[in-house]
Amino acid sequence: MYLQRRNRILRQSAAIRSLVAETILTPSDFILPLFIDEGENVKTEISSMQGYYRNSLDITVREVKELWSMGIKSVLLFIKSKDELKDNTGKEAWNPDGLMQRSIKAIKNAVPEMIVMTDVALDPYSIYGHDGIVKEGEIVNDETVDALVKMSVSHAAAGADVVAPSDMMDGRIGAIREALEESNFTRTGIMAYSAKYASCFYGPFRDALDSAPGFGDKKTYQMNYANRIEAIKETLMDVEEGADIVMVKPAMAYLDIIREVKDAVTVPVSAYHVSGEYAMIKAAAKMGWLDENKAILESLTSIKRAGADLIATYFAKDAVKLLNA
Ligand SMILES: NCC(=O)CCC(=O)O
Ligand SMILES: [Mg+2]
């Protein structure tokens, strides 16, 4: 045979494959979500997320020091609220002494350079497990936005670097930006969950925070997974309203959306490799059906290749260890 072009030339050794690799994961690609609990020395494995824990703040602070030493530059905080603090206003969400606010302060105090991102949504504080205030069975938009604004400002006051509204109410990015400006928090960023789909892949997360919706589902605010153009509309609106970073969530079943969003905006794009995506790999690996380490690196590389500049993933630590191996 006489071939003008032999594509296998650039695949023949590990060295040449790495020379021409188009996508390279690095520790600073990752955001590690952390689940924080009240108490001391409390470490609870999430039943549907084997190998992943909800920790009290003392353990979390030690963990964040380790993460920084590994090269992980960002954590995304979620707290598990006590049942007696839950209501239908979400007011615990902006309590200056709430678990979230104490966590932000403790982490920034221990590792000032760590980029602390905070979840902004009412579900951990809601007796209904919904991301907003409920009236006559409906999740009301505008009153919820008022609550999210208070929540965001209180996170900024506690020292959060980036607030991350994950609720999908309309208009909240603009309202939060305006409030941050008015309160003089001009260094606080907003990572908007812009294209967050109503997904079954969030199931294990709701076990982690005991935040499953008490009635109905989240389809009146999170996006229909049948839709693509709507993701662009949502994302462009959030950028217009002042988002510094936009997000697509979940990740693996939405790689097309990540790519289209990446092509449509000039801000960094993040993707959230969610709890169900973690659980699938863990479960298959446990059965001996998948090589866990290979599945982790292939999944995260695919998400970056699709266009994600940042990846929120429960595998961040595992991935960094594998990249350094
Ligand atoms: N706001 C956080 C979620 O909705 C779920 C994340 C996950 O499933 O990992
Ligand atoms: Mg929106």
Q: Write out pLDDT tens, residues 193-215.
A: 999 999 999 999 988 888 889 99
Please give the helix or strand (H or E) that residue 194 lies within, else none.
strand 189-196
Query: 166: closest CA among 197, 128, 129?
Result: 197
Q: What does pLDDT average to over the chain?
A: 97
Q: Look at residue 76 and tell me whether its pLDDT is greater than 90.
A: yes
Q: Look at residue 183 and tell me whether its pLDDT is greater than 90.
A: yes
pLDDT the model gives residue 211: 84
User: Which residues span the domain enclosing 254?
Assistant: 25-324
Q: How far is the CA of 58 from the centre of ligand 2 (A)?
A: 35
Q: Write out pLDDT tens, residues 251-279.
A: 999 999 999 999 999 999 999 999 999 99
Q: Which ligand is nearest to the CA of 239?
A: 2
Report the alpha-carbon distance of residue 140 to residue 15 in Å, rounded: 56
Strand partners, 75: 32, 116
Q: Is residue 192 part of a domain?
A: yes
With a CB cutoff of 8 Å and minimum separation 6, the contacts of 123 are: 129, 130, 131, 167, 209, 211, 213
Taking residues 186-192, report their average pLDDT.
98
Q: Is residue 9 part of a domain?
A: no
How many domains does one find in the chain? 1
Q: Whose CA is nearest to atom 8 of ligand 1?
A: 202
Report the alpha-carbon distance of residue 172 to residue 134 in Å, rounded: 17
Please give the helix or strand (H or E) that residue 14 lies within, else none.
helix 14-19
Q: Is residue 54 part of a domain?
A: yes
Of 100, 163, 202, 315, the one to substitute when testing ligand 1's pocket (max ligand atoms within 8 A of C-beta) is 202
Of 193, 274, 311, the one to substitute when testing ligand 1's pocket (max ligand atoms within 8 A of C-beta) is 274
pLDDT the model gives residue 209: 86
- The pLDDT confidence band at residue 102, using thresholds 50, 70 and 90, is very high
Taking residues 82-97, report their average pLDDT.
97
Q: Which ligand is nearest to the CA of 118?
A: 1
Q: Write out pLDDT tens, residues 129-145.
A: 999 999 999 999 999 99
pLDDT the model gives residue 208: 86
Residues designated catalytic? 196, 249
Q: Write out pLDDT tens, residues 214-233.
A: 999 999 999 999 999 999 99
Total count of residues recorded for the chain: 325
- CATH number where 206 lies: 3.20.20.70
Q: Is residue 13 part of a domain?
A: no
Taking residues 93-106, report their average pLDDT.
98
Q: Is residue 18 part of a domain?
A: no
